[in-house]
Structure 1
């Protein structure tokens, strides 16, 4: 059985210097290394560097996956943009851990599948699928954190062990927009194997995102920026002029997002409410997901049976129409049969088809 491992690092906020690239090159002679990217694939052997330290010191994102199922996504953000205390309510050791180092918050989204499960020879990922999560988190969108928490619950459910722990564990704050994930968030849900039924029932308590059309959002953002104190706006412009504005947009968007609430009270006829719902236990969510999964399976089975019945009826109708056509004008077929008997030839496709239709039950 052939092993496969993929390692990728990205430097987003600043490129690596020549000395830093040489430092990384010393860890791998075959990797493709540039000022912003490191990538290597292993079919035997392993990477000898410390991936966590490389992210702490040099890179802003790291991706690892292996065909035996292990997966890891590391993201580094300035602590001023995403505080550790913001992440901690969503952390479960099975899927998300967080720590700080040198003024940065480091998120470790992981699945450890080295437990004898089936090997995965089909899945393939690159950091371009996930790097947009950094900007979303920096702008105050916490949906990626909640997805990681759900992934941890799925690990619990498959383990089928401590049900008392399920009852004690309470969900973290539910971010808006779980029912309308962005592209990077969908990629993360797939990467962490978030159960679709679990995500669906979790989204019941999630308000609509409240994201307006681009033109409306730009107008609202302009109004928000206009209301900022002049001194603060001047300071932001100076940062931009000095080239220190890599995260100015994210900081502004996070503050802007915090001032906006999901659309009004309750959507008529919707399962969602803008009022803060009561926090659900892990046990309640897993039970609800099981019921949803069972109901969905029953609906899908019913739909398959209905489709099969429709195909059967259509076949019967075609057969009945064909027999009626033959019964209305049987002469040509009998003439052809007599000719073939006289020539001692096998029946034509037309006669064979007629025979099958007549003999069919």
Structure 2
């Protein structure tokens, strides 16, 4: 299997300057570079820089995959929208880590599969599907962080007695971007289902325009001026998320609320859930097999009933099919004879069938391909 690697970086909050694009070009002569992105794939060689350094200097989102099984997502958020200590609380293993720069927090999520990655997809659609989860996190939705922690649990990177962090609402109904992230990182559906059992539903309704208008009117004038200045400066990439976070008064879930489960408990419950689901699948498959068998048996009985009404004609048809000496007609004759045999068994006339079959074999003993067909399906 030939090697394949794919790199994609996206700048969301600030466009890349011409100077910055030149710095990227100095690293890669083949990369597709614009004011908002860098994309390249390699079937030999590799990117001659550390992606983490590029995330610190240029970009807000990064996706990497290799066909030997490695997948990686990095997201960068301003510290004003994600506190470093919050990220560190959830990103606690090799599969999910975080670090800070002077102004930002960078999340680094990885998935490995030793069997390699044979799945084919449109790579350039993957990161765009995941990126909205960054804005959701900036708005105070901590489900992305919890998925990161759950990834560490799945990969056995935590002690069994490690308590889970606060469980955010809405785990049982992920947004499209969060589901895309979970799929990309190969997050186990049973583990996620077990974790979601302790998650409250998200509010069904978004705030109305009237509610938002009243809230905006109450904002201090200085805050409104700052918002407008940020928009004019082109610094409004996450502004909507920040304002929504402020509107909702986003805070961390109360760690004391509810029962905090341990990593080992979640894994055990996920294994049990998987076993139950497999049993349900086996039962459904068995029921479907029975249904198909019953349908086939009923259809065969109808066919045998019709055959019983035209028995002489059926034996004549066997002779006509054999007389053509064509292989496909030999097959058709054998199929018809099998039905005649089944009818004889049903009617208690198997000895009569055997006598007719013996005479048929005797008449056509010099047709080895026909006799071979009889032998293969046990027509005696």
Give the CA deviation at 1:205: 0.4
Contact map agreement 1:94 1:111 (CA 8 A) in 2: no
Question: Considering only CA atoms, is the larger Rg found in Structure 1 or Structure 2?
Answer: 2
Q: 1:357 aligns with which of 335, 339, 351?
A: 339
Q: Structure 1 residues 225 and 54 mapped into 2: Cα distance closer, same or farther (>3 Å)? A: same
Contact map agreement 1:148 1:192 (CA 8 A) in 2: no
Give the CA deviation at 1:133: 1.8
- Residue 266 of structure 1: aligned partner: none
Q: Mapping of 1:1-361 within 5 angstroms? A: 1-113=1-113, 117-124=114-121, 125-126=123-124, 127-156=127-156, 165-167=159-161, 169-212=162-205, 217-241=208-232, 243-258=234-249, 276-334=257-315, 336=317, 352-360=334-342
Cα deviation code 1:103-146 (max 9, x no counterpart): 11111112355xxx212132443321221122111111111111
What secondary structure, in the 3-state scheme, does the structure 2 residue paired with 1:97 have?
Answer: strand
- 5+ residue gaps in structure 1? 263-274
Cα deviation code 1:312-337 (max 9, x no counterpart): 11111011111112223435435545
Contact map agreement 2:140 2:245 (CA 8 A) in 1: yes
Contact map agreement 1:78 1:104 (CA 8 A) in 2: yes
Q: Structure 1 residues 260 and 80 mapped into 2: Cα distance closer, same or farther (>3 Å)? A: closer
Give the CA deviation at 1:255: 1.9
Give the CA deviation at 1:90: 0.9
Distance in 2, matches of 1:110 and 1:246, equals 25
Give the CA deviation at 1:354: 3.6
Contact map agreement 1:65 1:72 (CA 8 A) in 2: yes
Contact map agreement 1:74 1:108 (CA 8 A) in 2: yes
Give the CA deviation at 1:224: 3.4
Give the CA deviation at 1:222: 3.5
Contact map agreement 1:210 1:261 (CA 8 A) in 2: no
Distance in 1, matches of 2:270 and 2:65, equals 27
Cα deviation code 1:75-113 (max 9, x no counterpart): 111110111122122112222111110211111112355
Distance in 2, matches of 1:306 and 1:59, equals 53
What is the root-mean-square deviation of aligned Cα atoms in Å? 2.8
Distance in 1, matches of 2:319 and 2:131, equals 76
Distance in 1, matches of 2:134 and 2:252, equals 22
Q: Which stretch shows the higher mean deviation, 297-306 or 328-337? A: 328-337
Distance in 2, matches of 1:29 and 1:238, equals 37
Q: Structure 1 residues 333 and 43 mapped into 2: Cα distance closer, same or farther (>3 Å)? A: same
Distance in 1, matches of 2:232 and 2:35, equals 24
Distance in 2, matches of 1:344 and 1:2, equals 53
Aligned length: 336
| TM-score normalized with structure 1 length | 0.84
Give the CA deviation at 1:59: 1.1
Distance in 1, matches of 2:320 and 2:60, equals 83
Contact map agreement 1:211 1:217 (CA 8 A) in 2: no
- 5+ residue gaps in structure 2? 346-380
Q: Structure 1 residues 91 and 332 mapped into 2: Cα distance closer, same or farther (>3 Å)? A: same
Q: Structure 1 residues 331 and 40 mapped into 2: Cα distance closer, same or farther (>3 Å)? A: same
Q: Structure 1 residues 218 and 204 mapped into 2: Cα distance closer, same or farther (>3 Å)? A: farther
Q: Structure 1 residues 111 and 144 mapped into 2: Cα distance closer, same or farther (>3 Å)? A: same
What secondary structure, in the 3-state scheme, does the structure 2 residue paired with 1:74 have?
Answer: strand
Distance in 1, matches of 2:321 and 2:263, equals 75
Q: Structure 1 residues 64 and 244 mapped into 2: Cα distance closer, same or farther (>3 Å)? A: closer
Distance in 1, matches of 2:251 and 2:163, equals 26
